[in-house]
């Protein structure tokens, strides 16, 4: 785990503003043993109530950012503080266990944390309903479409009631229609469950549509080249994607992305 | 077939109505299936015919009829010979017993060995070379030694069957345990799952298809091992290997052939059984090619 400051909100040394900070990266750098520098000088915070999206070209270290946040990797420089233990992590692929039914897959994480069978069953059932998979509890992953697999994966993380949800390009492999539908579902869950999100993608319009803040990264070594606040209110109207303001913001982010890339 | 019915049930009625071509395809699929039984049967008839011709040649021209006996004489050995038939089945029973005991030992030792190796890289590095060495030793060279160490009876037969059958189990189990996706392993790591939880809930289930493929090969090999053991160890309760030798030495052509055929049938049965078992246990979620 990265240096976890598991400080209770009442601890006096923390200001009111930082109390709502769930993730705090300060000049984080990542250098792998083989010499490649994946990240350098990353300053990034995610507060409660925020949904932050990171866009950047492939190989710019976006995923490394998440891996550090989740504790799978440790930053080689700087401080990476995560102020909660309830972290949800959604992988690029659904990572379902093919021998388990939807119900049993959704129960998996709760099972690994040692939750009682009764309780995790109830939680899994709730999560399954929440992602719209009711009626598919007994199905095996191979009988599901790509979108349904992702929904199962989302439900699995939801059983942990995460405060911070990390998404590593979860919808990248899905077709556009499924992707848009899942974006809407994700926004609904964000509003309903009030987790903070850190979402990695390489789709600019997905980034703008989903988030309260867009962070633009450039590659080699990965660094932040721009940050954009997204002014559209939550819950978000799907039709917002066809407004001029939306298009303008997408244009600005794309521009920053291209500038950072050159 | 179960796959077809699964496809069927997954689709909605509307879907099916929308694609009449699909129906055609299914019909063709089934007719292809049902027409599959006759080509092998035809080959079988041709082979038996050739066998008769060869037997005729050995009978009339070479005048050594016991070298290649007529098929119907071989067939009578399976049910009608007052001395040979009971012997055949008693020995089949003994060989089966040796093969299955050897297989059971190979499963326990082989899967255990591979599991141990999968627990840590250093254990694997220390132990895997020996699995390879075991595979490379010409086992027939070891057999006389096994006999003088452990006697020329049941125990030695089982040891030979075990050694011959064990390698596919070790390598397939190890391969299966290591074939788990990185992201799946990380999923467990993120929840703080320990080595043994990960083994029990992720690695082992994921390795099952691979273990079953190894088991199927090992089962066939255990029959080979049981018969090889017989060829060297003549004491105790003899099996089909001894029967083949004795029948051959007494110029009992039909008996030799019957014993060889029943040994082959034992190998085939064991192979098919474990193939079937694999489908029952993991076929629900894993498609064997």
Q: Does domain A33-86+162-262 have CATH number 3.40.109.10?
A: no
Q: Are A43 and A26 in contact (CB under 8 A)?
A: yes
Q: What secondary structure letter does DSSP report for A236?
A: P
How confident is the model over A57-73, as a mean pLDDT? 87
Of B144, B157, B160, B165, which is closest to residue B97 (Cα–Cα)? B157
pLDDT of res. A12: 37
Best A73, A96, A97, A105 member to test B by mutation, with max B CBs in 10 Å, is: A97
The alpha carbon of residue A262 is apart from the nearest alpha carbon of chain B, in Å, by 32
Using an 8 Å CB-CB cutoff, list chain B residues near A143.
6, 10
What is chain A's mean pLDDT, rounded?
87
pLDDT of res. A139: 94
Using an 8 Å CB-CB cutoff, list chain A residues near B181.
93, 95
Of A236, A250, A225, A89, which is closest to residue A169 (Cα–Cα)? A89
Question: What are the domain boundaries of chain A?
Answer: 33-86+162-262, 97-161
How confident is the model over A65-77, as a mean pLDDT? 90
Q: Judge: B189–A72 Cβ closer than 8 Å, yes or no.
A: yes
Q: Which residue of B has its CA nearest to A96?
A: B184
Using an 8 Å CB-CB cutoff, list chain A residues near B285.
98-99, 140-142
pTM of the model: 0.81
pLDDT of res. B40: 87
**Average pLDDT of adjacent 10-residue blocks, chain B of 289 residues:** 38 41 61 72 94 93 90 92 92 95 96 91 88 82 89 91 92 92 92 91 95 93 92 84 91 93 94 91 86
Query: Between residues 207 and 236 of chain B, which touch chain A (CB distance below 8 Å)?
Result: 208
Residue A221: asked if its preceding bond is cis (omega within 30°), the reply is yes
Q: Which residue of A has its CA nearest to B7?
A: A143
ipTM entry = 0.86
Look at A162-171, A192-201, A216-225 and tell me which has the smallest mean pLDDT. A216-225
pLDDT band of residue A260 (cuts 50, 70, 90) is: confident
Distance from the first to the final alpha carbon of chain B: 15
Of residues B10, B181, B206, nearest to A143 (C-beta): B10
Of residues A70, A112, A142, nearest to B193 (C-beta): A112
Of A55, A11, A1, which is closest to residue A258 (Cα–Cα)? A55
Q: Judge: A89–B193 Cβ closer than 8 Å, yes or no.
A: no
- Rounded to an integer, what distance in angstroms lies between the CA atom of residue B77 and that of residue A246? 87
Q: Which residue of B has its CA nearest to A115?
A: B191
- Rounded to an integer, what distance in angstroms lies between the CA atom of residue A225 and that of residue A218? 6
pLDDT of res. B23: 59
Best A71, A87, A112 member to test B by mutation, with max B CBs in 10 Å, is: A112
Any chain A CB within 8 A of the CB of B201?
Answer: yes
pLDDT band of residue A261 (cuts 50, 70, 90) is: low
């Amino acid at each position: 785990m990265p240096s976890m400051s598991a400080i209770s909100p009442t601890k006096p040394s923390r200001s009111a503003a930082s109390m709502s900070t769930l993730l705090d990266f300060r000049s984080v750098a990542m250098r792998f043993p083989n010499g490649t520098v994946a990240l350098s000088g990353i300053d990034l915070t995610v507060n409660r109530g925020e949904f932050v999206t990171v866009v950047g070209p492939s190989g710019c270290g976006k995923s490394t950012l998440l891996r550090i946040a989740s504790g799978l990797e440790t930053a080689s420089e700087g401080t990476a503080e995560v102020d909660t233990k309830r972290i949800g992590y959604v992988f690029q692929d659904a990572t379902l266990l093919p021998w388990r039914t939807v119900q049993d897959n959704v129960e998996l994480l709760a099972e690994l944390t040692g939750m009682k069978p009764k309780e995790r069953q109830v939680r899994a059932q709730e999560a399954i309903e929440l992602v719209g998979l009711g009626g598919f509890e007994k199905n095996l992953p191979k009988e599901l479409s790509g979108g349904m697999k992702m929904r199962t994966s989302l439900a699995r993380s939801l059983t942990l009631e995460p405060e911070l949800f990390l998404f590593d390009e979860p919808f990248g492999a899905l077709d556009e229609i499924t992707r848009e539908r899942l974006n809407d579902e994700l926004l609904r869950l964000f509003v309903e469950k009030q987790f903070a999100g850190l979402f990695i993608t390489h789709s600019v319009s997905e980034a703008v549509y989903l988030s309260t803040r867009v962070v633009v990264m450039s590659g080699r070594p990965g660094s932040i080249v721009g940050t954009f606040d997204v002014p559209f209110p939550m819950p978000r109207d799907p039709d917002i994607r066809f407004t001029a303001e939306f298009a303008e913001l997408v244009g600005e982010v794309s521009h920053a992305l291209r500038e950072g890339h050159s | 077939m179960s796959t077809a019915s699964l496809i069927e049930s997954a689709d909605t009625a509307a879907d099916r109505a929308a694609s009449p071509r699909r129906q055609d395809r299914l019909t063709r699929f089934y007719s292809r299936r049902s027409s599959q039984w006759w080509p092998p049967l035809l080959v079988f008839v041709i082979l038996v015919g050739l066998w008769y011709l060869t037997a005729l040649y050995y009978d009339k021209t070479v005048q050594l009829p016991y070298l290649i006996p007529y098929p119907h004489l071989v067939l009578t050995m399976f049910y009608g010979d007052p001395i040979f038939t009971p012997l055949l089945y008693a020995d089949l029973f003994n060989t089966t017993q040796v093969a299955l005991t050897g297989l059971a030992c190979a499963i326990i030792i082989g899967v255990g060995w591979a599991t141990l190796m999968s627990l840590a890289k250093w254990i694997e590095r220390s132990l895997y070379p020996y699995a390879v060495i075991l595979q490379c030793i010409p086992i027939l060279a070891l057999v006389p030694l096994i006999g003088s160490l452990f006697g020329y009876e049941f125990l030695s037969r089982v040891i030979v069957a075990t050694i011959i059958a064990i390698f596919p189990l070790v390598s397939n189990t190890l391969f299966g345990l290591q074939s788990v996706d990185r992201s799946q392993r990380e999923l467990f790591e993120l929840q703080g799952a320990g080595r043994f939880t990960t083994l029990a809930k992720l690695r082992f289930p994921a390795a099952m298809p691979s273990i079953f493929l190894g088991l199927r090969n090992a089962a066939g090999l255990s029959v080979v091992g049981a018969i090889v053991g017989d060829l060297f160890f003549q004491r105790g309760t003899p099996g089909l290997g001894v029967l083949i030798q004795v029948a051959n030495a007494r110029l009992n052509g039909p008996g030799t052939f019957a014993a060889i055929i029943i040994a082959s049938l034992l190998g085939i049965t064991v192979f098919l059984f474990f193939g079937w078992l694999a489908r029952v246990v993991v076929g629900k979620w894993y498609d064997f090619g």
